[in-house]
Amino acid sequence: MTSIFRPVAALVAAVACIHPAHAAPVDKAPVLDLPHASWTAREGAPSNITGIAQTPDGWIWIGSTSGLYKFDGVRFLRAAGSEAPLSSNVAGIGVLPDGRMWVGYKYGGVSLMADGRMHHYPGGKAGGPAGSVFAAARDAGGRLWLATGRGLLVLGADGRWQPCDPALGVPDSGFASLLADRDGTLWAGGTAGVFVLPKGGARFELLTPLSTLLPLVAHPDGSIWATDEARSTLRMLAGPARGTPSAWDVPKGATLFAFDRDGHAWMADGAGIVRGAADGRLGRMWAEHGLSGRKVQAVFEDRERNIWVGTESGLDRFRAPRVRAEALSGDAASDALPLAGGAGAGVWAGHAWLAAPGAPARDYGHAPPGVNDTITALYRGPAGDVWAAGFGGLWTVRPDGSGWRRLHPGIEGPATTYAMAQDSAGTLWMALGRRGVAAWRDGRWIAGGGVASLETYAAATVAADRRGRVWFGSVGDDLVLLDGGRIRHYGRADGLTVGTVVQILPAGAGAWIGGENGLMHFDGTRFTPVAGRNGEPFAGITGMVFARDGTLWLNGAGGISSIAPAEQQQVLRDPGYAVAYGRLDYRDGLRGTAGAIIPVPSATRSDDGTLWFTTIGGVYGFDPAALPRNTLVPPVVVTGLKSGATAFTASDGTRLPAGTDTLDVDFTALSYREPGRVAFRYRLDGVDHDWRDGGERSAHYTNLGPGHYRFRVLASNDDGVWNTEGASLAFDIAPHLVQTAWFRVLCVVAALVVTWRLQLFWMRRTARRLAVRMGERTAERERIARELHDTLLQSIQGLMLLFWSTASRLTADARAPLEAALERANGVVAEGRDRVAGLRTSAVPDADLAGALRRFAEPLARDAGIAFHLYADGRARRLREPAADEAFAIAREALWNAFRHARARAVDVTLQYAPSALVVTIADNGVGLPDDIDLERGRDGHWGIPGLRERARTLGAALTVQTAPGDGTAWTLRVPAPIAYA
C-alpha cells in the first residue's frame, strides 16, 4: 500500500472510535419542508427505477427494469430508434466525463451513447460484460471500467471488455460501486471490500476489507463516503472534510445514495427518503407523506440543483425553496398576521418583532394589560411610531419597540379595525367596516373624521398619499377620495371593476387598486384593468408594495406576484396588454395564500428594502434582489412530428407524403426547476406571420399545402430566462400530381391553348358570319341594282324616247327647251347607271384600304388646306373585302368629320398590320370633340358616332376614341386578324 493511503486505511480502521455526530430518531424527524413533485404510472413514469442521469444536452434519463426513458419534466419518452437500449432491464446508468452515457443491464451487457446513437456491447458476446453492470467510471489514464456482478472489467484497445488481471490486485468477485474522485483516484467497492487505484498507479490497493461500506459516494468537498450498515453511520473514507465530522449517525438501515452540492446526505431507510446534515439534523419524506414509493433505488442532483429520487413506484423531485416561512410560535405560525415594515430589515408581525428574515421573533417590549388581545391592523406612521389596533383598543409602540402606550380603549361597542393610515396633518384614519370611518386626532375620536358621509361609509381599507389625500375602499366597486375636505366617489360607472376594494397603493396622481376580482390602475381620470399573461386575473389582492427598483409586488389568491416597471408602463400605454409577471407560490415554498380581507395590507417593506408578506400559512421576508434565480438557459428540442396517427422523424429534411394538410409538432424545453412555468414562442414560417405564445408543448396546424416549411420555437425557464436561438425543424410536404409546379404550368398552357382556340373559333365564326352578312348585303345591293336597271332606268329611258319622238315633230323654237331638258335627263340616267354600277362593286377596289383612303382624303385635304399623311406599319396584308369596305366606311366618316369640323392643321391615318389585328387610327390636332357630346351615343338627333359604333360592332371590331378640348381627336379601329385578313 502506498504511503498516500496508509493514513486513509488507518482512518477507516479507527473510525469506529470516533464519536459521530448524533442524529435524531428518524421517526421523530420533521417532514422535509421542500417543494416536492411526484410522478407515478398514472403520469406515465416507469416503475422500479434503477438509475437517473443527465446528459450534456440537458435530457434527464431514467433507467428502470421496464426500459430506458428520457424525461423533460412533463413527458416520459421511451428511448427508441438509434437511442434504443440493448435490453429493457436496466441495472444502472450514468454519464462519463466526456459526455457519453453508459447503460448497464441486469443480465449482462452495456451500451455507450454519444450524439444520440447507442453502441452496444452484448453480454457474453464479442467481449461484452457477462454479469449485471452496476457502475462505470474512467480512470486518470482514460481507461473505461465497469463494476459488474462478476468483477471489474476494463475496455481494451481492441474494443473488447476484459476481466481485471489478478496482477492488478483486484479479486475475481462482485463489485457494485465505482467512481473516480477529483484527484484521479479510481474507487471500487464490492463483496471483497473497498479498493483504490491511485492516479498513475499500476495496481489497486485494498483500503478496507469491509464489504458493508457501500455504495461509495463523493462529497462536494472531494471526500469519499460510504454507509457503514453495521454501525448505522456514514464513514468518510478519504479526503479533507474540513469542519465536518468524519462519521455521522444515521437511522438504522439507512443507505447513503448521494450528497447534494450543499453537503446534505440523501439516504434511503426502507420507508422513503431521508436527508441528513453534518450536525445530525434529519428531514424525511415517506410514502405516507407523498413520496412515490417506499423503496428508494436512485438519487441524482441535476445541473439546476434539483434532487431526483427514483423508487419502486415512480419518480420524485425536490428542490430548495425560494422563500421560507419565519419561525413563529403558537397561532402566529398559522394565522395571517398584520404587518408593518420596520427599521433596517425588520417587520412588525402581529405581536412579534422580527429584526430580519430568519431572525428569531420576540414580543414587543413589555406589553401592557390587554395588548395580548387579537391585533387586527398594524400601521407604521411617517415618524416611525407603530400603531396597533385590535378588539381591546388602540396602542402605539415606540420605534425601537421598547414600550407601549395605550391611547384609548377603543370605539364603543364591537368594532374591527381593518386598516389604518395617517395623513400629512397627523390624523390617523381607521377603516372600521360596517362601523364606518373614524379618525384619531388630538387625542380624541372623531366619527367620520368630521366628514358626515364617512360616518356610515363601510370602509374595508384606507390609504394616505403624499399629497395629503386619503383614499377609502368598500364593497361593490366603491372608491372614495378625500381631498381637502372634498369627497369624490368612483364606481362601476367610472370603470372600476375590482369588486370589493381591499387594497389601495397611492402612486403619483393616482393609485393602484387591488380587490377581490383583480387589479386596476387609476391615473386620476381613467381606470385601467391589469391582467397577466395566460389569463392571470390577479384576484384576491390584499397587499401591494413597491420594491426599491419600482417593481410592483402583489399578495393575492394566486400567490405573490411581481410586475416590472417596464410592464407597468406598457399596460398603461396599451390597456389591452397582458403583462409578464413573476410568481411565488406553493412551488416555491409558500404555504397558503393571502387572507381574504384581514389583514390589510398583507405586504409591506422595511427601511432597507426587504419585502414582507403574510399568508394564512406564515410570514415571509426576503430581499427581492437576492431571491434565488435560475440563470440557466433552457435547451430547446423539437421532439416529434405527426400527422393524424402517423409519426415522422423530427429531423431536418423530413419529407411528408402528398396530401398532408394537418400537422402536430411536439417540442420541449429542458428546464426542470418548475416545468409548468416554462414559456414558449413558436412559428411556422410561411404560415404564421408572427410568433405565437404558448405554454403547451405542442403546436397544431391545419390546411397546409405542399411546399417547404421551417418550424421554429423559443423557450424561457421558470424565471423568464429565454433561449433566443431555440430550435428549428425544416421539412417538406410532397405535392400531389395536381399540386406540382409543372402540372400547374401545364394547366396554364392548356388554358392558354384552349383560350386561344376559343378565341380563334370565335373570330373565325365572326368572320364567317360577317362574310355571310356582307354576302347578303352584296346580294341585296345587286338585287336593288337589277331592279333599278330593269325597271326604273328602263322606264325613264322609254319615257325619254317618247319625249324625243314628240320633240321631233315640233318646231325648232319649241323643240329647243325640250331637247335641253332631255339632255339633262340623259345625264340623270347616266348618273343612275353609275350608282347602280357602284352597288355591284366594292368601295375599296382590290381591298386596297390604303389606296382608297388616300384617294378619298387627299382631295379633301387640298380643298381645306390641311396637311394629310397616311402611314403604314408592318407588312401590308391582303384584306377581306367586307372588312376592307366596313373599315373604309368607318375611316371615311372619321376623316370627313376631321376635315369638316375639327379645324385641324393636320390629319394623320395610320394602318398597323399587326399579327393579331388590323389597327386603323385617324388622328387630328384640332379642337377636339365638345364636352357635351357623349362619346358612346353621340349628340341627340345626330347619327355619326352611333353609326360608327354600329358598323364596328357589325364588323366584330373595337372602336375607341380619345379626345380633349384643344388636344384633337383620335379614333382607333381594331379589327381582329381572322376577320380582317384574307
**R_g of the chain, CA atoms, integer Å:** 52
Distance from C-alpha of 350 to C-alpha of 372, rounded to nearest angstrom: 10
600 and 640 assigned to the same domain: no
3-state SS of 299-356 is EEECCCCCEEEEECCEEEEECCCCCCECCCCHHHHCCCCCEEECCCCCEEECCEEECC
Cell of 95: 454519464
Distance from C-alpha of 384 to C-alpha of 397, rounded to nearest angstrom: 9
More confident residue, 304 or 742: 304
Cell of 530: 391589469
Please check the confidence at residue 782 and state whether its pLDDT lies above 90: no
Residue 156 lies in a domain: yes
Q: What is the pLDDT of residue 442?
A: 86
Residue 887 lies in a domain: yes
pLDDT digits (tens, 9 = 90+) for 587-640: 999 998 888 777 889 999 999 999 999 998 899 999 999 999 999 999 999 999
Q: What angle do CA 827, 833, 839 make, to 5 degrees?
A: 140
Q: What is the pLDDT of residue 389?
A: 86
Residue 342 lies in a domain: no
Q: What is the pLDDT of residue 8?
A: 40
Single out the residue in 737, 752, 784 at which a domain terminates: 737
615 and 681 assigned to the same domain: no
Distance from C-alpha of 28 to C-alpha of 24, rounded to nearest angstrom: 7
Please give the full DSSP string across 171-198, using - where no structure is assigned.
Answer: -SS-EEEEEE-TTS-EEEEETTEEEEE-
Residue 331 lies in a domain: no
719 and 757 assigned to the same domain: no
pLDDT digits (tens, 9 = 90+) for 723-733: 999 999 999 99
Alpha-carbon distances, residue 591 vs 33, 211, 325, 356, 691 (angstroms): 10, 45, 8, 19, 36
Average pLDDT over residues 164-186: 91
Q: What is the pLDDT of residue 729?
A: 96
Cell of 216: 461509495
Residue 200 lies in a domain: yes
Q: What is the pLDDT of residue 938?
A: 59
**CATH code: domain of residue 721:** 2.60.40.10
Please check the confidence at residue 419 and state whether its pLDDT lies above 70: yes
Q: What is the pLDDT of residue 17?
A: 38
Please check the confidence at residue 217 and state whether its pLDDT lies above 60: yes
More confident residue, 756 or 16: 756
Distance from C-alpha of 6 to C-alpha of 12, rounded to nearest angstrom: 10
CA terminus-to-terminus distance, the chain: 118
Q: What is the pLDDT of residue 115?
A: 92
Kindly tell me the burial class for residue 813, based on how many C-beta atoms sit within 10 Å of its own C-beta (0-12, 13-18, 19 or more).
exposed
Single out the residue in 692, 713, 737 at which a domain terminates: 737
pLDDT digits (tens, 9 = 90+) for 347-392: 998 888 899 999 988 876 445 555 556 788 999 988 888 888 887 6
**CATH code: domain of residue 474:** 2.130.10.10
Distance from C-alpha of 777 to C-alpha of 954, rounded to nearest angstrom: 12
Q: What's the count of helices (H) and strands (E) in the chain, helices before strands?
A: 9, 70
Please give the full DSSP string across 835-853, using - where no structure is assigned.
Answer: HHHHHHS-SSGGG-HHHHH
Distance from C-alpha of 312 to C-alpha of 271, rounded to nearest angstrom: 12
More confident residue, 762 or 607: 607
Q: What is the band of 15 on the pLDDT scale with cuts at 50, 70, 90?
A: very low
Q: What is the pLDDT of residue 13?
A: 40
Please check the confidence at residue 522 and state whether its pLDDT lies above 80: yes
pLDDT digits (tens, 9 = 90+) for 1-11: 343 343 344 33
Is 866 within 8 Å of 907 (Cβ atoms)?
yes
Average pLDDT over residues 422-448: 90
CB-based burial, 70-90: b 16+ in 10 Å, e otherwise = bbbbbbbbebeeebebbbbbb
The count of structural domains within the chain is: 5
More confident residue, 539 or 394: 539
Q: What is the band of 967 on the pLDDT scale with cuts at 50, 70, 90?
A: confident
693 and 753 assigned to the same domain: no
Residue 359 lies in a domain: no
Residue 353 lies in a domain: no
Picking from 322-336, 526-540, 748-762, which range would have the lowest pLDDT averaged per residue?
322-336
Distance of CA 924 to the CA centre of its chain: 67
pLDDT digits (tens, 9 = 90+) for 739-750: 777 888 888 888
256 and 161 assigned to the same domain: yes
781 and 656 assigned to the same domain: no
More confident residue, 215 or 529: 529
154 and 301 assigned to the same domain: yes
831 and 850 assigned to the same domain: no
**CATH code: domain of residue 855:** 3.30.565.10
Domain range holding 723?
A: 636-737
pLDDT digits (tens, 9 = 90+) for 182-209: 989 999 999 999 999 999 898 999 998 8
120 and 175 assigned to the same domain: yes
Type of residue found at 518: G
Picking from 31-40, 530-539, 780-789, which range would have the lowest pLDDT averaged per residue?
780-789
105 and 245 assigned to the same domain: yes
Is 134 within 8 Å of 177 (Cβ atoms)?
yes
Please check the confidence at residue 772 and state whether its pLDDT lies above 90: no
Please give the full DSSP string across 434-466, using - where no structure is assigned.
Answer: TT-EEEEETTEEEEGGG-GGGTT--BSEEEE-T
Q: At what angle do helices 812-840 and 741-787 cross, to 10 degrees?
A: 160
More confident residue, 857 or 931: 857
Is 293 within 8 Å of 50 (Cβ atoms)?
no
Please check the confidence at residue 14 and state whether its pLDDT lies above 60: no
Residue 377 lies in a domain: no
Please give the full DSSP string across 964-979, using - where no structure is assigned.
Answer: -TTS-EEEEEEEEHHH
Distance from C-alpha of 118 to C-alpha of 121, rounded to nearest angstrom: 10
Q: What is the pLDDT of residue 527?
A: 97
Alpha-carbon distances, residue 158 vs 98, 127, 141, 162 (angstroms): 20, 10, 17, 10
689 and 833 assigned to the same domain: no
Single out the residue in 704, 737, 770 at which a domain terminates: 737
Cell of 889: 366606311
Distance from C-alpha of 793 to C-alpha of 982, rounded to nearest angstrom: 36
149 and 279 assigned to the same domain: yes
Q: What is the pLDDT of residue 133?
A: 96
Average pLDDT over residues 454-466: 94
Q: What is the pLDDT of residue 590?
A: 93
Please check the confidence at residue 480 and state whether its pLDDT lies above 60: yes
Q: What is the pLDDT of residue 4?
A: 37
Q: What is the band of 685 on the pLDDT scale with cuts at 50, 70, 90?
A: very high
Long-range contacts formed by 719-724: CB under 8 A, 24+ apart = 719/582, 719/629, 719/630, 719/631, 720/580, 720/582, 720/679, 721/630, 721/631, 721/632, 721/633, 721/634, 722/633, 723/633, 723/634, 723/635, 723/636, 723/669
Please check the confidence at residue 333 and state whether its pLDDT lies above 90: no
